[in-house]
A and B are shown apart, each in its own frame.
Chain A
Amino acid sequence: MSWIVLENVTKRFSNVVAVQSVSLQIEKQDFFTLLGPSGCGKTTTLRLIAGLEFPDEGRIYIAGRDVTMELPKHRNVAMVFQNYALYPHMTVRENIAYPLVVRKVPKDEVREKVAFVAESLQISELLDRYPQQISGGQQQRVALARAVIQTPNVFLLDEPLSNLDAKLRIEARSFLKRLSMELGTSVVYVTHDQSEAMALSTKIAVMNQGRVLQVGTPREIYDKPINTFVASFIGNPPMNIIECYFDGSTCVLEGRRIDLSELSLVAFPRGKGFIGIRPENVLLDAKNGEIAGEVYVVEPLGFETIVTVKINSCSVKVLVFEDVPYKTGDKVFLRLRKDKLHVFDENGVRILRRDEL
């Protein structure tokens, strides 16, 4: 049995279904990310694991024990909240010590552990301050310290980076990854930021409207998204999804016919469908290519440049890593890397290749 198991868990709030029949298996060494847009049920799922909500249906197991209806204190979980929830009437020291104090750990041991955890998280000099007196990044470390000191079965992190500014966020992300490797137990992480999910996770579950759409390694999610939602949610900029018509193995895109027979798909959609291609897999050329378009906007980001190309009614984002000689209004040609092309049927479900079966 996996370290954490959710079996057909459903949670309703009055008439709204927040989490619908979610099943997950999380291993002990996993850094498991619940990824999805706001309101998709990812935080509710986390709270169900924490025991802050109880499911209406289904069962939850942690470390082989059925904890479905147990209080948080019997689950041995640690959680870092989005706003950190540091107790404002306690010093940093008291905040970190709190989980041990309520478990009636002897005072000497508490003092020792607090000192050790504070040392390893580099917050020793803050111990006598109050949470209101320290910066956001420091508060985050204190919240992590309060979680780490418990040696729990699982760490639950609810968007812990979203309250930090952009520069600090990247720094905290590396720190978090390093920390999670040292913790030696599973981490369940909630975020709406796909780049965080990609950077940190060993496994990602993409959620939407209370359902888990796909579970897999970041690579699998990136390379084999199960449908157009997952495809367009992952990646920055996200995958281009273009509506088109299929005529056998030929795709008709804005009046251009593209032969896709070399893709060796299990089946081709009949009539309406979608093709998807990541921005880095589209090649720009000034003279020749499959599809003609016009440069709509050029966004240089330093190392790479995002070029948005308009093709009649739709637009395609292209990621270019060299110097871009184009400017708005230029006529360009696009070439799609066929081996990186995804085909989705009318309902947005990705069609597998023969070698993926």
Chain B
Amino acid sequence: MKDPRRFSRIVSYILLAPILAFFISPIVWLFVTPFSVRPSLFISFDGFTLNNFVRVFQNKTAINAFRNSLIISVSVVVLVTTCALFAAYVFSRHDFRGRNVLLYVLVLFSSVVSGAAAMVPIFVLNLRLGLVNKELGVILTLSGGIMPTALFILKDFFDSIPRTYEEAALVDGSSPMQVMFRIFLPLSSKGIIVIAMLVFAQSWSNFLIPFVLLRSTSKYPVSVAIYTFFSEVGVPDIGMISAYSLLYTLPVIFTYVLIERKFGFSFYGGIKG
């Protein structure tokens, strides 16, 4: 212990180790338990089996839920990305009165819309609109919640793209639409993909809104359907839950890896890399 720096490093490792273990153990559990013969709440592996997955695939609600989740998430991604794209373009390129105020008010409200505090009004609103127990209700509510954040991040990204490209394209004889589709979209594709991913991850994982708005089991997305894996007496079926959870996380991991490979940028928890 002659080098004081080495000493402090060892101390920091000792302090970090339990924190690391705390965050890593659920992930280890997620990858170990589904393949275990006797799944439990502890990380214990006693014999390899795929039985848990077989049971998931035999469960109609579970498989249906994947389809439902996909419908909801893809719709939200398409809706939010398209709307945020056009809105962010205007926010970035046109200086109109009250632009910044509007932007910040929207971002402020977004946390209210998807937050738990607004659940009752959101339910009442959907009820009045006849959207309770319909996928459309979930899609619109989720979109409304995510939109301002997407808009905010996209606007920031668009601000970093020089205007000269668009101006050059205009003078080169393009119509405003051609500028958008031939110049601006290709230049901003990275940012748009990041936003689409962020929106996908958010809508895929959202539990509260579909849980409140959907009534029939056949319409549940994965995040809600997972709660049906309890026996009549309320005992969780850990084997199925763990296998199902693993399947549930795979699409998000998969999209991340795919996009990371293709575009080579890092994605830090929703903030553009």
Q: Which of A77, A83, A85, A102 contacts B174 (CB 8 A)?
A: A102
Q: Which of B171, B183, B186 contacts A72 (CB 8 A)?
A: B171
**Cβ-based interface call for B212 (8 A):** no
A52 to B163, CA, bound (A): 11
**Cβ-based interface call for A36 (8 A):** no
**Cβ-based interface call for A73 (8 A):** yes
* B167 lies within 8 A of A89 (CB): no
* A73 lies within 8 A of B173 (CB): yes
Closest chain-A Cβ to B146's Cβ sits at a distance in Å of 28
A235 to B175, CA, bound (A): 43
* A52 lies within 8 A of B167 (CB): yes
Which A residues are within 8 Å of any B CB, using their own CB? 50-52, 71-73, 76-79, 81, 83, 85, 87-89, 98-99, 102-103, 146, 150, 156
A103 to B171, CA, bound (A): 12
**Cβ-based interface call for B93 (8 A):** no
Closest chain-B Cβ to A103's Cβ sits at a distance in Å of 5
A192 to B168, CA, bound (A): 21
Q: A73-B175, A87-B183, A88-B187 are in contact. Are A98 and B169 (CB under 8 A)?
A: yes
Which 6 A-B residue pairs are closest in the complex by CB-CB distance?
A: A85-B168, A85-B164, A99-B172, A79-B171, A89-B186, A72-B170
28 A-B residue pairs with CB within 8 Å:
A50-B171, A51-B170, A51-B171, A52-B171, A71-B175, A73-B170, A73-B173, A73-B174, A78-B172, A79-B168, A79-B171, A81-B168, A85-B162, A87-B165, A87-B168, A87-B169, A87-B183, A88-B165, A89-B186, A89-B187, A98-B169, A98-B172, A98-B182, A99-B172, A102-B172, A102-B174, A102-B182, A150-B172
* A72 lies within 8 A of B187 (CB): no
* B171 lies within 8 A of A102 (CB): no
Chain B residues positioned under 8 Å from A102 (CB to CB): 169, 172-175, 178, 182
Which chain A residue lies CB-closest to B164? A85
Q: Which of B167, B175, B176 contacts A85 (CB 8 A)?
A: B167
Chain B residues positioned under 8 Å from A50 (CB to CB): 171
Closest chain-A Cβ to B180's Cβ sits at a distance in Å of 12
Closest chain-A Cβ to B183's Cβ sits at a distance in Å of 6
Chain A residues positioned under 8 Å from B170 (CB to CB): 51-52, 71-73
Q: How large is the interface on B (under 10, 10 to 19, 20 to 34, 35 or more residues)?
A: 10 to 19
Chain A residues positioned under 8 Å from B174 (CB to CB): 73, 102
User: Which has the most chain B C-beta neighbours within 10 Å: A83, A102, A146?
Assistant: A102
A52 to B172, CA, bound (A): 12
Chain B residues positioned under 8 Å from A83 (CB to CB): 162, 164
A50 to B174, CA, bound (A): 13
* A99 lies within 8 A of B173 (CB): yes
Closest chain-B Cβ to A67's Cβ sits at a distance in Å of 13
A50 to B170, CA, bound (A): 9
* B171 lies within 8 A of A77 (CB): yes
Chain A residues positioned under 8 Å from B167 (CB to CB): 52, 81, 85
Closest chain-A Cβ to B89's Cβ sits at a distance in Å of 17
- Known A71-B170, A103-B173; further 11 A-B contacts with Cβ < 8 A: A51-B170, A51-B171, A71-B175, A71-B176, A72-B173, A73-B174, A81-B167, A83-B162, A83-B164, A85-B164, A89-B187
Chain A residues positioned under 8 Å from B176 (CB to CB): 71
A81 to B174, CA, bound (A): 16
Closest chain-B Cβ to A57's Cβ sits at a distance in Å of 21
Which chain B residue lies CB-closest to A99? B172
* A85 lies within 8 A of B165 (CB): yes
A76 to B172, CA, bound (A): 8
Closest chain-A Cβ to B208's Cβ sits at a distance in Å of 40
A87 to B174, CA, bound (A): 13
User: Which has the most chain B C-beta neighbours within 10 Å: A79, A87, A146, A150?
Assistant: A87
A102 to B168, CA, bound (A): 13
* B182 lies within 8 A of A78 (CB): no
Which chain B residue lies CB-closest to A73? B173
Chain A residues positioned under 8 Å from B187 (CB to CB): 87-89
Closest chain-A Cβ to B96's Cβ sits at a distance in Å of 13
Chain A residues positioned under 8 Å from B171 (CB to CB): 50-52, 72, 77-79, 156
A102 to B164, CA, bound (A): 18
A146 to B168, CA, bound (A): 10
A73 to B167, CA, bound (A): 11
Closest chain-A Cβ to B35's Cβ sits at a distance in Å of 45
Closest chain-A Cβ to B99's Cβ sits at a distance in Å of 14
Closest chain-A Cβ to B173's Cβ sits at a distance in Å of 5
Closest chain-B Cβ to A14's Cβ sits at a distance in Å of 9
Which residues of B (158-213) have their CB < 8 Å from a CB of A? 162, 164-165, 167-176, 178, 182-183, 186-187
A88 to B183, CA, bound (A): 9
Chain B residues positioned under 8 Å from A52 (CB to CB): 167, 170-171
Which residues of B (50-82) have their CB < 8 Å from a CB of A? none
Closest chain-A Cβ to B129's Cβ sits at a distance in Å of 41
* B186 lies within 8 A of A81 (CB): no
Chain B residues positioned under 8 Å from A78 (CB to CB): 171-172
A173 to B170, CA, bound (A): 26
Closest chain-B Cβ to A81's Cβ sits at a distance in Å of 5
Chain A residues positioned under 8 Å from B175 (CB to CB): 71, 73, 102
